[in-house]
A = this chain, B = another copy of it.
Amino acid sequence: MFRSLTSALALFAATTALADPLPSWSATDTKSQILAFVETVTNPASDDYVTPSDRIAVFDNDGTLWGEQPVYFQFIFAIDRLKTMSEADPSILSTDVLKAAAAGDMETVLAGGHDALFEILDATHSGMNVDVFQQEVAEWLDAKQHPDTGLHYDQMTYQPMVELLRYLRDEGFKTYIVSGGGIHFMRVFAEEAYGIPPEQVLGTYTNTEYAIVDGEPVISKAPGIAFVDDKEGKPINIERTIGRRPIFAGGNSDGDFAMLEWTTAGKGARFGLLVHHTDGDREYANDRESPIGRLVDGLDKGPGMGWTIVDMKQDWQRIYTDQN
C-alpha cells in the first residue's frame, strides 16, 4: 500500500496533526486554552515542558465526566438496592431516613443532607464480598435507565470529556478519577467508559475486611465509610495515593475546589477546569442553588485563579456519549 515505511509514517504524522482531537468541543476560547496548554507542556523546547511521568491529570466523576442529576447515579443504585433488600427483609428499614428512601420520599432524604446519603450508602454497600457487590452494580447498569433521558447510566458520560481524557493520554498524560463516588462502584464501568483502569480510580471507600471463608481468602465490604474523597479529602487522597501533584485538574462543584487549588498552585503551567452546567435544554442548568453539584466558590474565585470555566451550552457540541 505504501512505497516505503517513511512515506507511511509521514502520512500518519500529517493525519494526526490535522485531526481534531476534541471534535465535540465548539471552536471557543475554552477549546483553544486546552489545546495551547497541552501543546506547551508537551513541547520539549518550551520553558513549561513537563516530562511524561509528571503529566498527571485528575478528574472528578459525577457532574464532570458523567451526569449527576436529579441525584448522584450511585445513590439511585443504592435506593434501588435498598428497595430490593427491604422486600426480602423489611426489618432493615430501621430509621426514618431508610424508610423514606425505600418509599421513594426523596424530599425527606435530601433534607437529611450528606448524613442521610451516607446512612443509605452504608446500609446498602456493606456485608458482601467486593466481587458480589461489583456484579450487582454491573447488572444494575445493564438493567436500568435514567428517568429523564432513557439512557443507561453508563451511556451518560460526557462525550467532550471522554475526548479530553483520550487526548491527554495520547499526549503522554496519565488520567485519574478522583471522585466523591465509591471506588468499587466506579471501577465497574470506568475502564470501558473512560479508558481509566481500576488502579487510577480514586474515590470514597468503605471499610473492608480480609478473611478466610470456606478455605478461600475473601475481601468483603464492612460497615462504616473509611474515607470520604471530597473537598480537602481530594488533595489528601491524591498526595497519599499518587504521590505527585497533578498538572491538570477538572471538576464541576465546590467539592472539587481544593483539588483544583492544590493542582494549580504548583509551579509551572497548570490547568484548572470547571464544568459549568448551563444547558437546561440539552442537560441541566444548575450552580449556586443546587443541592447536587453546588458551585459557588469556583465561579467566584476560579477565574481569578486562572481556572477555565466550561460553559456547557456554548462549549460543547454534543453532551452524552451515547445519545442519538
Contact = CB atoms under 8 A, between A and B. Distances in A.
Contacts of A243: 183, 187, 197-199, 201
Interface stretch (A41-49, A84-92, A232-240): A232-240
Contacts of A208: 236, 239-240
A258 B243 CA distance: 25
A244 B130 contact: no
Contact of A265 (B174, B198, B216, B261): B216
A216 B245 CA distance: 14
A199 B5 CA distance: 37
The complex is assembled from copies of this chain, and their number is: 2
A261 B130 contact: no
Contacts of A100: none
- Please tell me the size bucket of the interface on A: 20 to 34
A210 B258 contact: yes
A103 interface: no
A205 B227 CA distance: 14
A239 B130 contact: yes
Given A199-B243, A241-B241, 10 more contacts: A53-B197, A130-B239, A187-B243, A197-B243, A199-B241, A201-B243, A208-B240, A210-B235, A210-B236, A217-B262
12 contacts: A53-B197, A130-B239, A183-B240, A198-B243, A199-B242, A209-B232, A209-B236, A210-B236, A216-B265, A217-B235, A217-B258, A217-B265
Interface of A: 5, 53, 130, 174, 183, 187, 197-199, 201, 205, 208-210, 216-217, 219, 232, 235-236, 239-244, 258, 261-262, 265
